A and B are shown apart, each in its own frame.
Chain A
Amino acid sequence: MTDDDKFFERLRTDARTLRHQPDERTLARIRASIHDRLAPKPTVVELLAAWFRPLAMTAVAIAIAAGIGVITLDRNDVTFGDEAIEVTVEGETFRVAD
């Protein structure tokens, strides 16, 4: 090995420390960006579905609440029919049925 070669070998050994080493956080950030960019993009149909899904869920919730309300009201109507009205006049109680 010539002096030139020895110089270059020593230079190569020292130059190794110049290698750029990003920290773990930076590497994780780049990995996440790559991952995001490679994730399959949603189709138009999927985008619309994602947009309409909450609206549809809200509409269903409103419909269910309205349905339950109507049933409760109906039940109350039936109960009204079963109750007799009592009227008391001078100690005498009179029952008035439907």
Chain B
Amino acid sequence: MADDDPLEARAIARVQAGDAAAYDYLVGKHLPRVVSIAYGVVRNAHDAEDLAQEAFVKAFQSLGRFRAGEPFGPWIYRIVTNSALDVLKHRTKFRHEELAGSEPAARRDDAELPAMSNDIARRIDAALEELPDMQRIVARLHLVEELEHAEIAAMTGLAEGTVRSHLSHARRKLQETLADLYD
């Protein structure tokens, strides 16, 4: 995930020196990925966009504490993942309260599913959605966002071993559900 982008380092230095306009470069570079990561957790396009916006505002406000030379990507991904997990916790709590008296709330908005290239992708998406929350999130970050264990651990605040364990459980379940796809 580390990338040596001299423009990024320069933009960070300029923002830290008070040039807010230089932040546009960082937003432009990382926004699509940040929205995608948030979407993978909350599964709602509108919430994902709001979370991305909040993450960039938060990052800007604490950029003074950002260490020079560090890549901006992992930092903003961590901020957005934490916020998305908070939204999810809030939703889960709300769902539990709702369950006491009525039908369970839908976990995702089907109308907002990303455009999928084919049926295989649809099957994978459905299989991922059947996983428990943390397995689903870790599996999505690893499979869809192509992040490594250490990166996922840093983003979610989980120990690397826990990430591996979630991934191993997810892998087993996905293998069962999608067995016919990869025979």
Contacts and interface: CB of A to CB of B under 8 A. Distances in A.
Give the size range of B's interface with the partner.
Answer: 35 or more
A15 B178 CA distance: 12
Interface in A1-41: 4, 7-8, 10-12, 14-22, 26-27, 29-31, 33-35, 37-40
Given A8-B171, A11-B178, A15-B144, A34 B27 contact: yes
Contact of B53 (A14, A17, A34): A34
A22 B27 contact: no
B28 A18 contact: no
Contacts of A35: 24, 27
A35 to B, nearest CB: 7
Interface in B18-33: 20, 23-24, 27-28, 31-32
Nearest to A39: B20
Contacts of A4: 171, 175
Contacts of A19: 36, 114, 144-145
Interface string B113-125: 0111110110011
Given A18-B140, A31-B31, 19 more contacts: A4-B171, A4-B175, A11-B182, A12-B143, A14-B120, A15-B124, A15-B144, A17-B121, A18-B116, A18-B121, A19-B114, A19-B145, A20-B48, A22-B45, A35-B24, A37-B53, A37-B57, A38-B20, A38-B57
Interface of A: 4, 7-8, 10-12, 14-22, 26-27, 29-31, 33-35, 37-40
17 contacts: A4-B175, A11-B124, A11-B174, A11-B182, A14-B121, A16-B144, A17-B118, A18-B124, A18-B143, A19-B145, A20-B48, A21-B114, A22-B45, A31-B28, A31-B31, A34-B23, A34-B53
